[in-house]
Each structure stands twice: as C-alpha cells, then as structure tokens.
Structure 1
C-alpha cells in the first residue's frame, strides 16, 4: 500500500511539472527566462512553507548547518532552470523533455569524476547508449534548415542537463548532513534571490494572462515539489525513479493539443533509447544497493 501511494505521488508530481513547463513555455515569447525563474521560485515558497508548517517541520526546514552548500545548490539549480526555460521558448515541449532525460545519465559520469563512484561495464554501456539517443534527438536541430534558434535551443537544454547533473551531485553532498525539507526550502529561497538579480537584463511587465500563467507555474511547481518529496517517504528510489519517464507521454499530449507540436520519428526513436538507458541505470543502481532516494527527493526536473 505504501508503494502504491508513493507511485501515485510520483506520477502526480510528474504531471504537474509538465503542466508547469507548458505554462512557462506559453509565456516564453515575451517573458525572459530569468523573470520566469523568479515567478517559479517565489510563488513556490508559500506552498512549501505551509506544507512544512502542517507537518510540523518548519524548524527543520529552516535549520541548516551548511548555508554555503545551499547557495551553491541554488546557483547551479537556477542556471539549470534558466537554461531549460529559455530552451522551452525555442524547442517543442516534448523535445525539451526528451533531451532533459540526459541529466541522470550525466549524473553517473559526474558521480565518478567528482564523488569517486565506480562505473562498471554495464552502467558505462547504458551511459554510452543514452548519449547516442541524445545525439539522435538533437542532430536534426543542428542542420542549416532546422530553423532559427533551434541549435541555440539544443545548446541551452544540453547545458541545463549538465547543470542538473551537477545539482544532483551537490544534493548528494547536502543530504549527508541536511534534511530534505531544508534542501527544498533553501533552493526556492536562493533561486528566488538569484533570479531577482537578472532583473536589470531585460525584465518585462507581463500582461494579465502571462501573470496568471507565471504565478500558476510557481504554485504548481511548489505542489509538485511537495509531491515528489513525499513520494520518496513511501517508496524506494529504485521503484519510483522510472516513473520520471512518464513525463514523455504527458509532454507529447500537451505539446500536440496545446502547441500543435508533432513529434518527429528521430525524436521519438532517440527518446526511446534515452529512456531505456535511464531505466537500465536505475535498475543497476538498485541491484548495487545505491541509496539515492533522499537526493532525488530534493531534485526538480528543472534543476
């Protein structure tokens, strides 16, 4: 029963994060990415604070012994979120989602480089296959007739994947001494303040529709973060992590119905390879007994 509840919470968070991304994408033609990050982070904080208060974890959520570590996590996460939001304005929603699945694959590589984790042949093969899948997805966007901004969009989303992988590494360091609630709260706080620093670089006054979408994205993002954090209280990481890839299905549906985005065969084929590689890595980590549930609970699909 607990496992089923964890899966339900995880799927709920996946759906909400895709909806949030669609709302950000709808404002992207007019609203700069840094401004979107501010709204996403600022309006998530009240939701998170209410959640912590209801759970009587407010003191835990505000307590930290490593403020510099949270600052680094926030800086990396804001960079990832900003690149993702900018990429949403240049690429279809399903494509951004598919390329984003490269982040867990890169996390394996960074785990070896920065944390000294061992990568055996099986996981190395899965990483290589995943990178091939990403190449299949992005290659058509790198041609001369791909359209204005397509290559830039690919570069931004790939850069976001690198930042997200680095954020996951930082979270693994933080969870050794910090509570997950503190990681969630201080990420929203630091990302709000850091995003505010981008205001001199071209913020605009959004109209009523855009304001509603941005505020809604922040509130939904806060709820989604609570759901994903709660999910890992009821299920192990190895059980819940594969459900991240359900985002592809929801992104395809929303991309087609809301934005009229028709996926290409190359994108679908590449996404299938990346998803298969990611699931293989998760399965292998479960076999090896690697415990990363708390780290995943502090992550978002944007960083």
Structure 2
C-alpha cells in the first residue's frame, strides 16, 4: 500500500495521467494472469469454490493493510454506493468466471472489453468528465478491433457470450462507481470486493453438483496465487482511477485481449485466429494513440484529478 501512496505523492501533477495509465496496464496484465488461473481451476472445481478460495487468499494478502487501516471502515463515505459497488463487483467476477467455463479465455475477454465504451459514455453522462473527439475516435477504433477479433454472428452470440457481455456491463459500472468513490482508500475498496465474492462463493457451494472438493497442494497454490494476483490488480485499478479520469485509463483494458491470446495459447493451447491477431493489432494501435496524446498534453501545471 505504501508503494501506491508514494506513486501518488511523488508523481508530478502533469504526469498523473501517465502514472494512472501505467497502473491500469499493470492491472490488466495481473487480471489476465489471474483469469487464466481461474479458468484452469473451474475445469475441476465449482464457480462457488473458486470464488470462496480466491477471495480468502486475497483477504489474507490484504489482511496487514486491513488491520492498519481498520478505522477507515467505520467512516466510509456514501455507504449505500459502497454497498452497490460491492454487489456489482461480486456479480462481475461471478459472471466472468462462469463464461470462462464454456468459452476460450480470449473470446470471453473480447466480449468483456465492450465495457470500455460503456465507461466512456458513463463517465461523460454521470461523472461529467470531458471526453474530446480524438479520444472518442480512438476508443471506437479499439472497439472495432474487438469486433474484428470476435467476428460476431448468430453462431457466436450464445448464452455464455451473453453472460460475458453481462460481465462487461457490471465491470463498467464497477469502474464508474470506483471513480466516483476515489476518496475511499484503495485497500478498503479492494477488500470490499473480496468480502462480497467470499459471501457469494459460500452461498453457491451447496448448490454445486459436486459440492465441496478438497484441493490438493498444487490446486491450493493455484487458488492462493489467483487471489494474491487479483488483490494486487485491484489495488492498481483503484489507484489508477484516483490519478486519472476513467475515460483516460479505461481504454487500456483493451490490452487484456493481448494477454488473453498469450495465456490462452500458453496454458490452454488455444491458437489465435488471423482475425484475432488483426483485431489485437488494431486495439494496441488505438491504445498507443491515446498514450501519445496524453504524453503531449501533460502540462506541468495540470492538477491530478482526485489528488
């Protein structure tokens, strides 16, 4: 946690957007790695057990920070919005991993990335953030890359794909609420999400056909790593949204498709199609365009949003 605080305090105001972008890129790599582990695990275990054990591992990682900032839980701003965020975060994780049980990882991530457009629209409508025309164009181009990679058709729009789209809507809502609650400590926001998924996992386990399956040492390590990686990723996302507007950093979640292709091939042997590779190239190009614009536009006297 001290590292994230130092990033905020040591970053020059004009470079706050770049720091936020860097943290978002790191978060997407971490989430993709954790998602690959989760998909590997749900082949043998129920969604409920994955949520429960992953959340336990994440809370263990965060426990020293939770104890250090325990007083913050007693004075949370806008408690009803905090509760809504926890519920949405829980539904987002559950629907994402449910979709991965039936679809290749890269396909799920591709559907998932539709949330960038939802966030951009939401940030303009609800957060009153300024989204200029070039950024809109770059975001739309990135989404075109998603469509090229996915090649949507009646055959691809199955119910697992619809579940993945629901996950993208929940993720967009999560990011928008996180941005509006940027005064809340990062650790508090992260621990709320794990508490919600732990509760949902405990509820879902009795309904699983196989019930509880005691994991062996190797699978226990996978659960632990997935939880630890997710905890670090959440801290990165929350700090990113404190440093920069959602419309600036959220487009970088498009990089998840690149990681999805990499991990899908390395872990599951899913070889990307030419369309997937072309789409990924378009997405990367759109992301670099936004990054270059932010670097040129970082003025020395610019105040960091949310700082």
TM range (shorter): 0.7 to 0.9
Residues 212-227 of structure 1 mapped to structure 2, 5 A cutoff: 212-226=221-235
Partner residue of 2:162? 155
Contact 2:76 2:184 in 1 (8 A): yes
Q: Do the aligned partners of residues 274 and 47 (structure 1) sit closer, same or farther apart at CA in structure 2, a change above 3 Å counting?
A: same
Give ranges in structure 2 of 5+ residues lacking alignment.
1-6, 12-18
Q: 1:113 aligns with which of 125, 130, 133?
A: 125
Tell me whether 1:83 sits opposite 2:95 in the alignment: yes
Q: 1:17 aligns with which of 8, 26, 31?
A: 31
Residues 18-167 of structure 1 mapped to structure 2, 5 A cutoff: 18-53=32-67, 56-60=68-72, 63-139=75-151, 142-144=153-155, 151-167=158-174
Partner residue of 1:301? none
Taking only aligned residues, the RMSD between alpha carbons, in angstroms, comes to 3.9
For residues 160 and 42 of structure 2, the distance between their equivalents in structure 1, rounded to whole angstroms, comes to: 12
Shift of 1:285: 7.0
Aligned length: 285
For residues 78 and 163 of structure 1, the distance between their equivalents in structure 2, rounded to whole angstroms, comes to: 9
Shift of 1:159: 1.6
Partner residue of 1:297? none
Q: Do the aligned partners of residues 111 and 26 (structure 1) sit closer, same or farther apart at CA in structure 2, a change above 3 Å counting?
A: same
Shift of 1:139: 2.6
Q: Do the aligned partners of residues 244 and 51 (structure 1) sit closer, same or farther apart at CA in structure 2, a change above 3 Å counting?
A: farther
Moved more, 159-168 or 235-244: 235-244
Moved more, 160-169 or 100-109: 100-109
Shift of 1:10: 6.4
Give ranges in structure 1 of 5+ residues lacking alignment.
295-303
Q: 2:282 aligns with which of 273, 284, 291?
A: 273
Contact 1:40 1:217 in 2 (8 A): yes
Shift of 1:242: 7.5
Q: Do the aligned partners of residues 20 and 154 (structure 1) sit closer, same or farther apart at CA in structure 2, a change above 3 Å counting?
A: same
Encode CA deviations 1:180-201: one digit per residue, 9 max, x unaligned: 2321222222332234333343
Q: Do the aligned partners of residues 52 and 161 (structure 1) sit closer, same or farther apart at CA in structure 2, a change above 3 Å counting?
A: same
Contact 1:41 1:191 in 2 (8 A): yes
Residues 176-195 of structure 1 mapped to structure 2, 5 A cutoff: 177-195=183-201
